[in-house]
Chains A and B, each alone.
Chain A
């Protein structure tokens, strides 16, 4: 029995490992390229976009996907981190936009989600559908009205033109509501009997029970806003105020430096996930009362 279990665990780990390698492949290429010199990349990726047939005089007409650079160099990192301070500026711009959005939306959305998920009032489900409806609209449609709105509020060229809509987005409300739906009403009724108000119930019962949901929300908000390209391009004129995502969305950037900048870009996500991941193991105890 013990052996069977061990075998099962190893084979499942192996299976998940193989898939993980496939998923990580582009990231591995980014990493190895960040250690390459510009010349080596030029030789490897030169054939891309050329319309020549195979074997047309050249020794290798295909792009060369190299996993090990001929010469490992930290030149790109040196330029990104030390000699071109603009990358670090953009990195901190990203942080300055994403952190207030995450903090704000998590707080505002948790309160609203409690109303939608656990309280009864007239028109609740219809109002909630309106929240979801706005999420379905493609950004090009609301772009012009959003621009007019930001202009009227005097927010143009200010990071608040991005932060404020971020804070009030419907995403967090929708998501946290889903995580509150199956918290038994019996818990809330019992707390009410003991004389607890809704604020007490919210902080002492609801918040601890949706911890995995909160961790997931923070990660997904980070992903969405760390990657945003369109909003900063439209609302922030000054390139020195724009986040790293905008720079890294242009292919025409310096190729010899974009890979190291990409690594810098991905690093916070790894740290955030490794930290938040503990909330996915803990789980919650719903024992005591049942449904």
Chain B
């Protein structure tokens, strides 16, 4: 009897093991913990938030179709915010990518004090918000240090935050804060490239530039895709500091989508806020889907 029970348990175990070995079944088991929490804390709130954009009010609202979107597209401040955000991302994200790729490559190479230099590049990530704001003011205020240096050289001082220069100030602050983020990701990504690929290329007589183009860039594709998407997401986070410096209606050139959404949020216009956010998400989603199409080609190339 005992022996039979053991046998039974044994065949059962084999069956389960066999089932587990099938990819699809295993995949759902690996996904289960993440999926459950993700649905509860992200997917449901996301769906609820999106629903609000088609209603006339959050409490006991009625379905109004695309009315919120129509109103939004007619609003001048929304269009200004969208244009400013598009400009900001189009300039700062490629700049961020180029600079952080250069720094990551150099920091991955042969340097003195490499460990300390690497630390220096990621440190701006943890400077607290208030310190950033205080130092920002010290540098870019009308009576700030930057203007002091300008006047020491006999140049006109600039009202950094209240002219079109504000746009560039924000780009500089974004770059300062986010280069480290990408450097960490790219350094980790560079470790994924097997050293023997370079050795083989060297034997075959490929130059440095050639190696960079056909090994480093190619094998960095998955990391790069992640870096691009995170750079776009992080470019919206400069809002926190910008808001503390310039308030809810800053100079025209830096009135971003985040300002618009924050102001809608503050006036409890949740429908407009969600409609604006949805439009923005659709815009980024197009970029994301383009990147994933590129990734699919990369994966086919790898197999």
Which residues of A does B touch, CB under 8 Å? 9-10, 12-13, 15-17, 19-20, 23-24, 26-27, 29-30, 45, 47-52, 54, 61-65, 108-109, 111-112, 114-116, 119-122, 124-125, 129-138, 140-146, 148-149, 153, 164-165, 167-170, 173-175, 178-179, 181-182, 184-185, 192, 197-198, 202, 212-213, 215-216, 219-220, 223, 226-227, 229, 244-245, 248-251, 253, 255, 258-259, 262, 265-266, 269-270, 273-274, 277, 279-280, 282-287, 291
Contacts and interface: CB of A to CB of B under 8 A. Distances in A.
Contacts of B246: none
Among B43, B110, B120, the one with the most A-chain Cβ atoms within 10 Å of its Cβ is: B120
Among A19, A184, A270, the one with the most B-chain Cβ atoms within 10 Å of its Cβ is: A19
A277 B191 CA distance: 12
B93 interface: no
Contact of A29 (B41, B135, B258): B135
- Determine the main DSSP class of B at the interface with A: helix
Given A61-B143, A121-B27, A219 B126 contact: no
Nearest to B195: A283
B49 A141 contact: yes
Contacts of A120: 23-24, 27
Interface of B: 17, 20-21, 23-24, 26-28, 30-31, 33-35, 37-38, 40-46, 48-49, 52, 58, 103, 106-107, 109-113, 115, 117-135, 137-139, 141-145, 147-148, 151, 157, 176, 179-181, 184-185, 187-189, 191-192, 194-196, 219, 222-223, 225-226, 229, 233, 236, 240, 244, 258, 261-262, 265, 270, 273-274, 277, 280-281, 284-285, 288-289, 292, 295, 298-299, 302-303
A179 B46 contact: no
Contacts of B180: 23
A181 B120 contact: no
A170 B126 contact: no
Contact of A220 (B34, B131, B185): B185
Contacts of B115: 274, 277
A51 B141 CA distance: 10
B24 A122 contact: yes
Given A202-B30, A216-B188, 8 more contacts: A20-B117, A27-B127, A116-B31, A140-B273, A141-B273, A142-B45, A273-B122, A286-B196
